[in-house]
Amino acid sequence: MLYLDNSATTPILPEVREQMFTYLENEYGNPSGKYYKLATDSKQAVKKAREHICKLFNSTENEIVFTSGSTESNNMIIKGVADYYAKKGKHIITSKAEHVSVLDVCIFLEKKGFEITYLDVDSYGRVNPNDLELAIRDDTILISIIWANNETGSLNDISTLSTIAQQKNVLFHTDATQAVGKIEINWAKIPGVGFLSASAHKVFGPKGIGISIIREDEYKQSIPFTPLIHGGGQENNMRSGTYAVHNIVGFGEAAKLANERLIQNSEQMKLLESSLTQILKNKFNDHISFNSDDKKKIPGVVNVRFIGVNNEILLKKLAPIIAASSGSACSSSKPSHVLQAMGFSLKEVRESIRFSLSPYQSLKEMKVFEQL
Ligand code: PMP
């Protein structure tokens, strides 16, 4: 079976697994403990992992806050900023093509009296910077825009969008979950971004661990927000809870490898993607159309419409040989809101499939499509 649902989750690399085992077997100490070796070893392991993650993003160590994944990071930041700045304003801007863990938080906040502007997106799912500029108001407290779309791979121009936010003095968050390990994310070069969400299991690390990156100013002050989880005060009081050391160590190793292999991995995914699209074109020519842009996107995501064919029926038939999906695993029971925001009819949405590749796959493996 060829696994082409890497946008949903990736397998854990052997190097990552090996590092994690140590902290599942012998090294079980709580990093918040003091004096004895089991605790200080664990503390050291968390620090080392944090360093690897910082290198991948070019952020500082204090700016990394461990969470359980991007869903939590998105909740933490949007709810946290909304609560902290509610007296200043109650307007938030996002887009119609966000992940549900952003959209559902916005719907929750609407019920609490916040006003949300959902920006339209173009036919590839991207936000137009002019639309953002026009939507900003005096009472806007936060803008949240996805970096790379999880269904189409389309990239938003985060540098331009966050600069607009900065010029208007509005906080900016980006959900970078799908961009990590596929394009360079240089935190130091996007000063307009105040908050970023990412998750380990999209970059060959374990599930249940992610980060929020929270911008520090020149006086080492983090942008304030109300914590989502209160308790022991870990992570500078921004996210309480005992450190999941094995997961953090796994994320650290996955980040180290993603950083070292960024160029080679993205080149390999480009190669695989062009091979896959060529095979699909040759095989199905007029019966398919591509929903992903071939330029401003992350490599490795091919969203394609099989004209006149129901995607659920096709996916079920493919399942013994190819594992793929109709879009986001987090909203798999509903027709894609992303494709609908891009202007697709419900019928077109129900004919669309996402194939998402891994840099650890080979050209030879793509040949399975020729046998369909
Ligand atoms: N945002 C995006 C863009 C995603 O693709 C995902 C994972 N499907 C999430 C957020 C949620 O991440 P996690 O599974 O780590 O909670």
**Every domain range in the chain assigned CATH 3.40.640.10:** 14-260
- The pTM of the full predicted model, rounded to 2 decimals, is 0.98
Q: Are 251 and 205 in contact (CB under 8 A)?
A: yes
Question: Can you say whether the dihedral through the CA atoms of 46, 47, 50, 51 is positive or negative?
Answer: negative
d(CA 34, CA 116): 45
CATH 3.40.640.10 fits 14-260, yes or no: yes
pLDDT for the residue numbered 164? 98
pLDDT for the residue numbered 372? 84
**Mean pLDDT per 10-residue interval, the chain, length 372 residues:** 98 98 96 97 98 98 98 98 98 98 98 98 97 98 98 98 98 98 98 98 98 96 98 97 98 98 98 97 95 90 97 96 87 88 97 98 94 84
pLDDT for the residue numbered 296? 94
* Strands (E) located in the chain: 2-3, 64-67, 91-95, 115-119, 140-146, 171-175, 195-199, 210-214, 288-290, 301-306, 322-323, 352-356
Atom of ligand 1 minimally distant from the CA of 69: 15
Atom of ligand 1 minimally distant from the CA of 207: 15
Ligand 1 touching residue 10 (CB < 6 A): no
d(CA 372, CA 365): 13
**Every domain range in the chain assigned CATH 3.90.1150.10:** 2-9+263-371
Ligand 1 touching residue 336 (CB < 6 A): no
The CATH fold assigned to 2-9+263-371 is: Aspartate Aminotransferase, domain 1 (3.90.1150)
What ipTM is given for this predicted complex? 0.99
Q: Which strands, in side-by-side order, build the sheet including 301-306?
A: 288-290, 301-306, 352-356
